[in-house]
């Protein structure tokens, strides 16, 4: 019998592990819980980048060069906006806009983000469960030295994550709650994984949902993170830069320390095999996921290793 696996993810890095897991686990054995701190309102539309990155990756629609958005998407809507003098800084493809329109309408009709996420994924043939971390709106806010406080996508996309970060907060998270769907998934989990997503930008908002940490710690199961830092560098994005700015060492070990009691297992790359990690169970193997077969083998290796110590 396959293990019940729950994996926490953010955007592109996490989507790669989720893709690998979805290849080896049947739909009823995998739940993917996704960060929604990156979500925002844009031109009246509710845009949920990490949820969509997971959905497009698992459905095979994703633009593989970017890791987000839809392959071959056009930009007629954004080009038409430019006629009105708009200078769009956030690339919304025409097909991608269909997703945001339907989600925005469903939310206006009173559906939960969980419900509409399931509908959209099902329509695209994604059978594994994809759940937002919460149904409440949460917005990651980035306080920067040079530009003051910025909304997440303004920091990340508009300013290309160049402003120096002082601190982060998750607006609205105090009023957020763990959904019944997330609770049920965690209650029946045999293994909890944290993908190689940015710990501060992608995983911290999930852990900040009131009750989430307690729920993760309530069961005596393997709780394993895959390092997003390899040889002191981020595989993609601002993780390493952010670590320096927030006062951490740029190492996989600092990631393990940051997760603290949340994890009891940690997977690093072979290049980091020499690090002494203060985690109960550690493993090292190649964790770079460039190709599709890399994603599947990383997922397999992680699960096989965990099965050996449970």
> Of the candidates 33, 34, 50, 225, which one interacts with ligand FO1 according to CB under 6 A?
50
Under rule CB under 6 A, residue 124 binds ligand FO1: no
Q: What sign does the CA torsion over 32, 9, 61, 138 have?
A: positive
Under rule CB under 6 A, residue 92 binds ligand FO1: yes
Q: Which of 224, 307, 293 is nearest to 16 (CA)?
A: 293
Torsion of CA 199, 202, 206, 207, to 10 degrees: 10
**Residue whose CB is less far from ligand FO1, 54 or 221:** 54
- For 38, 40, 41, 89, 163, the CA distances from 154, given in Å and listed in that order, are 10, 10, 12, 9, 10
Under rule CB under 6 A, residue 153 binds ligand FO1: yes
**Choices 88-96, 166-174, 213-221, 255-263 (CB under 6 A): range interacting with ligand FO1:** 88-96
43 and 140 in contact (C-beta within 8 Å)? no
**Residue whose CB is less far from ligand FO1, 95 or 301:** 95
Distance CA 184, CA 203 (A): 19
Min CB(70)–ligand FO1 separation in Å: 9
**Choices 21-29, 89-97, 129-137, 143-151 (CB under 6 A): range interacting with ligand FO1:** 89-97
Under rule CB under 6 A, residue 68 binds ligand FO1: yes
Min CB(180)–ligand FO1 separation in Å: 26
> Of the candidates 10, 163, 228, 238, which one interacts with ligand FO1 according to CB under 6 A?
10
Min CB(197)–ligand FO1 separation in Å: 8
**Choices 48-56, 71-79, 216-224, 266-274 (CB under 6 A): range interacting with ligand FO1:** 48-56
Q: How many CB atoms lie within 10 A of CB 280?
A: 12
Q: What are phi and psi of 126, to 5 degrees?
A: -85, 120
Q: Nearest-CB residue to ligand FO1?
A: 11
Under rule CB under 6 A, residue 266 binds ligand FO1: no
**Residue whose CB is less far from ligand FO1, 13 or 265:** 13
Three-point CA angle 123, 203, 148, nearest 5°: 110
Min CB(270)–ligand FO1 separation in Å: 26
* Range 239-242 contact pairs with CB under 8 angstroms and sequence separation of 24 or more: 239/198, 239/199, 239/200, 239/201, 241/161, 242/161, 242/165, 242/198, 242/200, 242/201
256 and 228 in contact (C-beta within 8 Å)? no
Which residues of the shown chain bind ligand FO1 in the complex (CB under 6 A)?
Answer: 10-12, 38, 49-50, 52-53, 68-69, 90-92, 96, 153, 156-157
């Amino acid at each position: 019998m396959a293990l019940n696996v729950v994996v926490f993810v953010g955007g592109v890095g996490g989507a790669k592990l989720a893709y690998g897991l979805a290849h080896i686990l049947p739909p009823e054995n995998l739940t993917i819980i996704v960060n929604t701190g990156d979500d925002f309102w844009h031109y009246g539309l509710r845009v949920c980048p990490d949820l969509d990155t997971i959905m497009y990756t698992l459905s095979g629609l994703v633009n593989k060069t970017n890791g987000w958005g839809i392959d071959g998407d056009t930009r007629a809507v954004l080009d038409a906006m430019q006629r009105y003098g708009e200078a769009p800084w956030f690339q919304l493809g025409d097909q991608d806009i269909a997703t945001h329109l339907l989600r925005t309408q469903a939310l206006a009709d009173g559906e939960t983000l969980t419900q509409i996420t399931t509908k959209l994924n099902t329509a695209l043939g994604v059978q594994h469960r994809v759940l937002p971390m919460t149904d409440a709106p949460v917005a990651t806010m980035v306080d920067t030295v040079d530009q003051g406080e910025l909304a997440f996508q303004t920091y990340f996309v508009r300013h290309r994550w160049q402003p120096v970060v002082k601190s982060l907060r998750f607006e609205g998270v105090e009023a957020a709650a763990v959904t019944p769907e997330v609770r049920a998934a965690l209650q029946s989990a045999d293994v909890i994984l944290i993908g190689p997503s940015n710990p501060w930008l992608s995983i911290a908002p999930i852990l900040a949902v009131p009750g989430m940490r307690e729920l993760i710690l309530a069961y005596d199961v393997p709780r394993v993170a895959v390092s997003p830092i390899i040889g002191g560098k981020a595989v993609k994005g601002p993780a390493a830069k952010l670590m320096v700015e927030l006062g951490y060492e740029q190492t996989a070990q600092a990631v393990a320390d940051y997760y603290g009691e949340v994890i009891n297992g940690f997977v690093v790359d072979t290049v980091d095999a020499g690090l002494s990690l203060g985690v109960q169970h550690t493993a090292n193997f190649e964790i770079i996921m460039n190709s599709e077969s890399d994603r599947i083998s990383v997922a397999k290796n992680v699960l096989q290793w965990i099965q050996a110590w449970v």
